[in-house]
A and B are shown apart, each in its own frame.
Chain A
Amino acid sequence: MRKSKILLLVSILFVFFFSFSFDHKRYQRQKPDHVRTRQQNILSINNGQPFQKGENRYATDRIMVKFNPRISVHSIETTINAFQLKKIKQIPKLNTYVLEIPGQSTVEDTAYALIRNPDVAHVSLDYKIFINAVPKPTDSHFSKQYALYNEGQEIGFPGPRGKNRADIKALEAWEETKGDHRVVIAVIDTGIDFDHEDMMGKTVSRGYDFVNDDNDAEDDHGHGTFVSGLVAANTNNGIGIAGVSWNSLILPLKAVAADGSGYVSSLIDAIIYATDEGADVISMSLGFSLGPGDSVPELEDALAYAKSKGLICVASAGNEGQGVLYPAAYDAYCIAVAATDYNDTRLSWSNFGPEVDVAAPGARIIGPVPAWVFDENDYDFIPEPYGYGTGTSASAAIVAGFVALIKSIKPWMDPDDIMDVIRYSADDVNADEHPGKDDFLGYGRIDMEKALIPIKITGSK
């Protein structure tokens, strides 16, 4: 009984072992040579798939034909003439001709006809090749967004030209992530223009207005719409600008009134509201300075509460050329952002101090603005709802978008780690003057590519 079981097992193993080679041989025997050749030819054209008419992935007026090696030049020319083809060029080493197809024939029909010719070994479509350039978003003002991609272009017309690649390496970073719609950035500012063409559908709700104490954070100033756009405007939509985090959503919280001022109490309310509403990032392009010896522990407590819930707070350092403003100066809870320009140079008015963590472009930044903000007499008027802004407000908004990108692909990271990633991956653009971390640009101008794209390790220590 035991022996028979073993015999059965051995038999199964043998059958398994030999069936591989027998099956293979049988398969080969069933395919006569000429059929195999034909099939290979057909497969070589379009990988066995039917042609999709109207596709432009390959040339429609030319084709590559490889002739059998034994065929004479005379025979080749006869074949070419018979098909009314015109020789464009020859690749002698491969015995291949690039042939122009007459106007009345399609490339597909010609290819099928040529395959049937016994002199022809192979027919290939002449596919179009493209350089592997990093794709740019289609937004109409993207070329003016040097902060995201600076190739020394003119920034507006007339406008200055910056230094090549003095930017935050957004194109490279977007290859890794364009953000996640589940990542919400609370923008505490003057609200948002919900009807702006580049902001429509980008908010999780109507937000909250802590100035007028209602559930509608409609922008009555313009600043909030501008910074919200930098964070996460509708991108690749053919109009306006590109946001740093394409797919993230905004929770607009209005803590600043139409005159551009507000109260710390509103800011505290907004921070707690953002935390309780489940936001991931808080962007604060605002600030205030404290009197000597003064403190606002309630604000610090609110920031600590947000951080304890995993929120990352980003705040602008300020534009007065003095010490860093609050809340950015709360070093343990906020990423304090200074401003650089299109040459990677620190702007003289950018506030400074040991609290500065990083810098981001903040000069001549284009962003969405409610249509009623500008009039035709303004220097920077452009007949669209977009305008240029300058200040650490823009810098902070760009960094907030950057945080959202990190949070999109690494949602498990805690605020301290995300803050460190942003700091350590920055480019020390003022290293000649102030090597290492300094009070002016912190660790340097942010570099999203280094922070998001896997760093290649190629050598040993």
Chain B
Amino acid sequence: MKRHCVLFLSALFFLCLPKSAFPQAQDISFSNGLRIKPGAHFEYFLRKITWDDKQKISELKTFIFALNTEIEIDDGFSVSALVGYGLSNYESLTFRQLPLSIELDAGNIGGIILGGDIRKSLFYGNTFELGLHGQFMHQIGLEKNWDVPGLNVPGTVTGKSTWSRVSAGPYFKYTALQSFSPYLALYYNNLWGKFKMEQAIQDLKGLEEKKIESKGLIDITLGSILGLSENFFLKGEVHILPSNEGMDFGVVAIAAYLF
């Protein structure tokens, strides 16, 4: 956890360095003041997660629907904030510390999504741009109840999950085309969180909190920005996260309007 924070703070520090600190091949400096780009953010990702001290592996599938506002503070430097709703599906998460063990395979659990991005262009070439990008996302889980089937008395379990995700790394954007900018990025991308499960069957009570951690940490991202008009943009990304257990992936679609 500490390691992740240090990495994220380092990335943030790096991004906040003044532009003059970096070599500039071609200084395209102009300033229009603050530019605001509100938009809608859709995301789906599948991550392999480990739990029970990394002994067990299962999958986390998440849909995110969020509103996103990007503020371009300076040319090449922008921050954005994101708020929305996430549906997380933890497959076959098993709670063996409860009095009656539970295997959860119950579909989506909702949660509030909060997040932020920071982006800094570092180097401009004639046809490309190099920069750094960092993102933080957090899901505050909402409680959900399920009946415990098969018992001779009524019983319920109540689950609540939270997770955080941090990603940071360099990107390479091809800028020669007028309204289409493909880019490639390599991120350090980590996800961690916990799942709290409470059991209540008459006077039999139990609580289990399970720490979860993602498996793949290297995120290779292919994306593109498509300018549909002078002010309206579409952005798409495909994330590939290889790990020993196979390939995780994610897709992101953002529609934004520039004011």
Contact = CB atoms under 8 A, between A and B. Distances in A.
A7 B101 CA distance: 55
Interface size class, chain A: 35 or more
Interface string B153-195: 1011100000000000110100000000000001000000000
A461 B154 CA distance: 12
A454 B201 CA distance: 15
A421 interface: yes
B54 interface: no
A114 to B, nearest CB: 30
A457 B103 CA distance: 6
Contact of B106 (A20, A417, A453, A458): A458
Interface string A293-322: 000000000000000000000000000000
Interface string A366-383: 000000000000000000
A454 B103 contact: yes
Contacts of B148: 455, 457
B146 A457 contact: yes
Nearest to A449: B150
A260 to B, nearest CB: 35
A421 B186 contact: no
Contacts of A452: 101
B152 interface: yes
Contacts, number: 103
A6 B170 contact: no
B14 to A, nearest CB: 8
B247 to A, nearest CB: 15
A454 B186 contact: no
Nearest to A16: B186
B203 interface: yes
Contact of B150 (A412, A443, A455, A460): A455
Contacts of A436: 152
Interface residues of B, number: 42
Contacts of A450: 100, 150-151
A130 interface: no
Given A17-B186, A456-B103, A461 B146 contact: yes
Contacts of A424: 100, 151-153, 155, 201-202, 204
Contacts of A451: 100
B196 to A, nearest CB: 15
Chain A CB count within 10 A is highest, among B107, B147, B152, B203, for B152
A456 B105 contact: yes
A91 interface: no
A444 B151 CA distance: 11
Contacts of A176: 101
Interface string A412-444: 110001001101111110000000110000011
Given A6-B17, A424-B201, A436-B152, A457 B102 contact: yes
A59 interface: no
Contacts of A454: 94-96, 101-103
B122 interface: yes
A425 B101 CA distance: 11
Contacts of A16: 186
Contacts of B202: 420, 424
B203 A10 contact: no
B243 interface: no
Chain A CB count within 10 A is highest, among B99, B106, B107, B146, for B99
A2 interface: yes
A461 B145 contact: yes
Contacts of A455: 100-103, 148-150
A409 interface: yes
A417 B204 contact: yes
B146 A460 contact: yes
Interface in B99-152: 99-107, 122, 144-152
Given A455-B103, A455-B148, A455-B149, A14 B204 contact: no
B51 to A, nearest CB: 14
A391 B169 CA distance: 71
A451 B104 CA distance: 16
A6 B157 CA distance: 52
A430 to B, nearest CB: 11
A6 to B, nearest CB: 5
Given A10-B122, A459-B146, A453 B101 contact: yes
B204 A10 contact: no
B99 A417 contact: yes
Contacts of A57: none
A3 interface: yes
B33 interface: no
B138 to A, nearest CB: 24
Contact of B104 (A410, A417, A443, A457): A457
Contacts of B169: 17
Nearest to A14: B170
Contacts of B246: none
A156 B151 CA distance: 33
Contacts of A8: none
A429 B188 CA distance: 56
A17 B103 contact: no
Interface string A6-43: 11011001101100100000000000000000000000
Nearest to B220: A20
24 contacts: A7-B23, A9-B14, A13-B170, A16-B186, A410-B96, A420-B201, A425-B150, A425-B152, A428-B152, A437-B152, A443-B152, A451-B100, A454-B95, A454-B101, A454-B102, A455-B101, A455-B103, A455-B148, A456-B149, A457-B102, A457-B106, A457-B148, A459-B107, A460-B106
Interface of B: 14, 17, 21-23, 94-97, 99-107, 122, 144-153, 155-157, 169-170, 172, 186, 201-204, 206, 220
Interface of A: 2-3, 6-7, 9-10, 13-14, 16-17, 20, 176, 409-410, 412-413, 417, 420-421, 423-428, 436-437, 443-444, 450-461
- 4 nearest interchain CB pairs? A454-B101, A454-B103, A420-B204, A461-B145
